Chain A
Amino acid sequence: MINSSLIRLAAVGELSLNWLILFNLSFRGLLFGGFISLAACGLSLAFQLGFINAAHGDMAVLSAYLSWVLLSIFGIDPFISLIIVVPSIVIIGFALQKFLLNRFLLRGLMDTVIIITFSIGMVIQNMLQLIFSADFKTLMQPYIMQALSIGFLNIPLTYLINFVFALVLFTVLHFFFTKTFAGRAFRAVPQDSEAAMMFGVKPEVAYIYGMGIMAMTQAIFGVLMGISYVFAPSSGSTYLLLPLGAIMLGGLGSLKRTFIGGLIIGEILILSGYFFGAQYQYIMCHLITLILILFKPEGLLVKRT
């Protein structure tokens, strides 16, 4: 965790060891936050499109397992397997939206959408459990299990890769959703679908492509999650609820704020793990999210109008 230069500094007495650890950890929390916000990206888009996908985390786990199959049978590197995993998950997302969810979304039956996505999540989870058993699996590769030392900062390589992926994806999607016509069309549909139709936007097509983008971010996130950590069929709910915290902190309707919310959640997770112990990380995080939902649902970063 702490490299030699850091210990030397501490030994000389120039810096107190605790503060160094804290600084190191909070930097790591920031990077971990990038990972959380990558997970929150698809969910935030779903919120913007006006529905929730309760199978959100399970889609990520599904893509991780897909990549694991490619790795263990064909020996394909997880990063290269993204070329296969992302399109297949996107096609699944397209099909799901076109043949199932659109029927209910276009009629405004949000309750049914929640129940259906919840059932789909359970189907994915139990299917994976039947095929791969409930054991933990990982995509970790030897070349990626390294740490970078920059000055007295010590960063695992996976944290950095996740953060860079998140930053790039969020930048691209942010510009797509604010600057291009297609992106604005996505956001117009849930706000006023009739007005959007007048501008030549088909709601059903917008929903299908929106689901495609969500599935893409989930596939990327799933593979990265598999590379950095272990996963099991039941990890889906964690990767639904941590991102939810990011969205609740940031407030709805903006990818930028979701990203910042994710960074805060990462900080909370890492620092509460340091102060209270690893077993209280999730409790802290979920508790903060629940309190936000109960008392300040518009988000911490949004001014009340």
Chain B
Amino acid sequence: MTDININRPLLLYLVSVTLLILMILPLYGEPYMISILTSSFIYLAAAEMWSFLAGHLRLISLGQQAFLGLGMYTVLLLNEIYKWPLWASVVFSALIGASAAGLLSLSFLRLRGFYFSLATILFSEILFHSFLNWTLTGGATGLTLSIGFKISMQISYYAALIVSILSILIIYYFHNSKIGFAIRATGCDEEAAAEIGVNVFLIKASCLIVSGAITALSGAIFIIRAALVNPYSGFSFEWGLALVFISVIGGIGTIIGPIIGSVIYVVLRSILAGFIGLSMLLQGIICVVILTIAPAGVWGLISAAGKSWGKIKRPLKVLPSYVVRKFYKSRKISSI
């Protein structure tokens, strides 16, 4: 079921080379490239989680901005007002995200299907209105993270890289382990999964909690870079749409899909940075078009192309030996 069909040594080699390049890059790369990569890592970490929930558990969360915004505000509150050390507040934001997800996962006790999507939208709107009225966090004007201006670009790059690697590792574990089978069984048919002894509620809740934690972490890294948040930016539907777009364009439920998608998203955003709203308009249109024409996304297209190439390649490979054998046979026959 894993979407990576290459053999394991080659995969390990590719991954380690990519990682090495990404580790060295900020020491030599130009600032624009580093900032593009940092934001794509942030989106990647959150989108991997969304993609996994949507692809394998059929939980379509339309309010992931709730977790992102919670992560941002946790770091701001703890670091700016309560003077916690920065990285402690980043780690704590993951806990906050996890507990918010735990609260939302109560909806799995009684419900399934689209109620979850509605509950996530509701949750993000409640948080939006609460932070709008909370004077401690500056209400509608928001807060500024003063330490954010001192943190160098490289450090936030490495932090984003670590979070996205963590996210990918967790998803990889979910794909290739015993839990992964339980998760996929739950996603396919809940009753059947419960029948063979899978604790459906626990599986769904734990996946949501992990995703909430990682999404809040990526929000926390985002605020270190952006240093400024208000309820309109933190709980904007732009986040939700971004995660949907990244996963849909790359391929829902795959590991590589969001990696492709987040790069496409960040590049698209930086190209259209001058036109407010145009980028979101295009994202929505592209989402609809991709879901209609190629629901498996770019990675789905690539792997389909790979498979059909395999189909073409096989006859090509066999052809010479077939000719040789035929020739040899005919010679043998003639010699007799």
Which residue numbers of A lie inside 8 Å of B, CB to CB?
Answer: 51-52, 54, 100, 103-104, 110-112, 114-116, 118-123, 125-127, 129-130, 237, 240-241, 244, 279-280, 282-283, 286-287, 289-290, 293-295, 297
Contacts and interface: CB of A to CB of B under 8 A. Distances in A.
Contacts of A295: 106, 110
Contacts of A103: 292
Given A119-B284, A125-B237, A297-B110, 17 more contacts: A52-B117, A100-B292, A112-B295, A119-B241, A119-B283, A123-B284, A237-B121, A237-B125, A237-B237, A279-B133, A282-B129, A286-B122, A287-B126, A290-B123, A293-B107, A293-B118, A297-B107
Contacts of A119: 241, 244, 283-285, 287-288, 291
Contact of B130 (A100, A112, A121, A283): A283
Contact of A114 (B107, B114, B125): B114
What are the nearest 6 A-B pairs in CB distance?
A123-B284, A119-B287, A126-B281, A122-B284, A119-B284, A126-B277
A241 to B, nearest CB: 6
A302 B128 CA distance: 31
Contact of A123 (B111, B121, B281): B281
Contacts of B285: 119, 123
29 contacts: A52-B117, A52-B118, A54-B121, A110-B113, A111-B54, A114-B117, A115-B244, A115-B248, A116-B292, A119-B241, A119-B244, A119-B291, A123-B281, A123-B284, A126-B278, A126-B280, A126-B281, A129-B277, A130-B277, A130-B278, A240-B121, A241-B122, A287-B126, A290-B126, A293-B111, A293-B118, A293-B122, A294-B103, A297-B115
Contacts of B114: 51-52, 110, 114
Which one of B122, B129, B240 has the highest number of Cβ atoms from chain A below 10 Å of its Cβ?
B122
B58 interface: yes
B280 A122 contact: yes
B60 interface: yes
Interface residues of B, number: 43
B119 interface: yes
A96 B202 CA distance: 38
Nearest to B119: A293
Contacts of A121: 284
Contact of B62 (A118, A280, A283, A290): A118
B237 to A, nearest CB: 7
A131 to B, nearest CB: 10
Contact of B133 (A51, A283, A289): A283
Contact of B288 (A100, A280, A289, A290): A100
Contacts of A123: 281, 284-285, 288
B96 interface: no
Contacts of B277: 126, 129-130
B132 interface: yes
B66 to A, nearest CB: 11
A283 B133 CA distance: 10
Nearest to B139: A279
A301 B121 CA distance: 24
Interface in B52-75: 54, 58, 60, 62
Contacts of A116: 287-288, 291-292
B126 A286 contact: yes
A294 B107 contact: yes
Contacts of A54: 62, 117, 121
A290 B63 CA distance: 13
Which one of B113, B123, B130, B288 has the highest number of Cβ atoms from chain A below 10 Å of its Cβ?
B288
Nearest to B114: A52
Contact of B122 (A51, A126, A127, A289): A289
Interface in B79-125: 103, 106-107, 110-111, 113-115, 117-119, 121-123, 125
Contacts of A130: 275, 277-278, 281
Contacts of B283: 119, 122
Contacts of A129: 276-277
Interface string B287-308: 1100110010000000000000
Contact of A244 (B58, B111, B113, B122): B122
Contacts of B103: 294
Contacts of B275: 130
A241 B307 CA distance: 44
B99 to A, nearest CB: 15
Contacts of B106: 294-295
Contact of A112 (B107, B119, B121, B291): B291
Nearest to A112: B291
Nearest to B288: A119
Contacts of B54: 111, 115
A117 B126 CA distance: 22
Interface string B202-214: 0000000000000
A141 B111 CA distance: 44
A184 B133 CA distance: 46
A290 B278 contact: no
A294 B205 CA distance: 13
A130 B248 CA distance: 24
A301 B123 CA distance: 23
Contact of B60 (A114, A282, A290): A114
A280 B110 contact: no
B130 to A, nearest CB: 6
Contacts of B62: 54, 114, 118
A283 B126 contact: yes
Contacts of A52: 114, 117-118
